[in-house]
A and B are shown apart, each in its own frame.
Chain A
Amino acid sequence: MPAFDDTEMENLVSLTLRWGVTVSSVFMLCGFILYATSITPLSPPHRLSFEQLLSLLTPDKNFLQRIAQPNIFFYFGIIGLTLTPILRVMIAVFSFLREKDWRYVFVSTTVLIILLLSISLSIR
């Protein structure tokens, strides 16, 4: 079993997880700051669907004003956290491909397909 590249994969996986958690936490923290300084408190909390979130991201002249809302930052943090483990499975697929370890390319691709199926069925 080729193992020469495993250290590289481990470093990349570790880095992905650390950055995923850090960036998501920063988003949530920004949301909290906006929330704490906001004149109009969020009550009840606004729920946003994927479509609504995506439509808010269309760049135009009101872009900054539109996204500078606590809830949007909370959602960015939550989605960022959820995507972090999925990203690390993608990195595993890519690393096993580079190592030509076909058995594990198959295993990790299966996990990735299951995850993507769960997402696609949920947001349909």
Chain B
Amino acid sequence: MSIQSFILILLGGGVTGIFGALLGIGGGVFLIPFLVLILKIPIHEAVATGIIAVIATSSAAASVNVERRFTNIRLGMVLEVATTIGAILGGVTANIISGQALSKIFGVVLFIVAVLMLRRTREKTGDIVPIVSKKKITGIYFDPAINQEVKYSVQRLPLGLGVSFIAGNISGLLGIGGGVIKVPAMNLFCGIPLKAATATSNFMIGVTAAASAFIYYAHDRINPIVTAAAVLGILLGSVVGTQLSAKLHSRIIAGLFAIVMFFLAIEMFTG
């Protein structure tokens, strides 16, 4: 591979990192189609790259969120039991099936992610009213936006575990974080306020991805140059994206990118 290709992947990683941070989703949903459709990298290698990139962005963002006390480490740990098992099964499955089948599954999931994102842009912004009950996992954090402490208890934990298992499965299979599925489920079904749900989901993503990373390594799917270039790019891009997200109207961007995702989904499905 030439130095030009390295720089191209670095730039591609950077752009996907910016959009990932702007939209509040991991960059994997853009990075993998970029590697497959434009650079013609085999999908299994692209997914492995996505997994390592997801560990990098999740760990970088989680270090800030944990410090801000938005993350519920105890809840994260409980749900990680389900996500890691899901991720291992997903990783094993991905390495058994053909590239063509994997690409089709990626297309279908990307389509669903695009629908979820489009729906998010139409819904009114609003958070759940947290319920506090005894004998349940509780969390507390200080929300600077409303200048007060928010206390909540986790409702319907078995349902949360089920969704986490599916999210872990998707992560191991397709190299994307799965936060787009976990966050609404944790918020709407489990009664976790959005800030805590987002931070806790993101906190879990690194461990989830690490569970399947070694499976890809063992199957010789990790291309060191492609992965290093993409990781460096996506890390830099997410720093820039986080700075930009405070200034830009995320709803319009989310709507536009949902449309881009529909096209990418069709390309991945038919390609």
List chain A positions with a Cβ less than 8 A from chain B. Answer: 6, 9-11, 13-15, 17-18, 20-21, 24-25, 28-29, 31-32, 35-36, 41-48, 50, 70-71, 74-75, 77-78, 81-86, 88-89, 92, 104, 107-108, 110-111, 114-115, 117-119, 122-123
Given contacts A10-B69, A20-B59, contact A47 B231 (CB under 8 A): no
| Residues of B in contact with A, size category | 35 or more
How distant is A102 from chain B, measured CB to nearest CB, in Å?
13
Choose among A18, A48, A122 the residue that contacts B215 (Cβ–Cβ < 8 A): A122
List chain B positions with a Cβ less than 8 A from chain A. Answer: 1-3, 6, 52, 55-56, 58-60, 62-64, 66-67, 69, 71, 73-74, 77-78, 80-81, 84-85, 88, 91, 206-207, 209-215, 217-218, 220, 222-229, 231-232, 235
CB-nearest residue of chain A to B221: A47
Complex interface: chain B residues within 8 A of A86 (CB):
207, 210
How distant is A60 from chain B, measured CB to nearest CB, in Å?
24
B interface, over-half SS: helix
Given contacts A82-B213, A86-B207, contact A111 B80 (CB under 8 A): yes
Contact A122 B214, beta carbon cutoff 8 Å: yes
Complex interface: chain A residues within 8 A of B71 (CB):
10
Given contacts A17-B62, A45-B224, A84-B55, 9 further A-B contacts (CB under 8 A): A43-B2, A78-B52, A81-B52, A85-B207, A86-B207, A88-B207, A108-B77, A110-B81, A114-B85
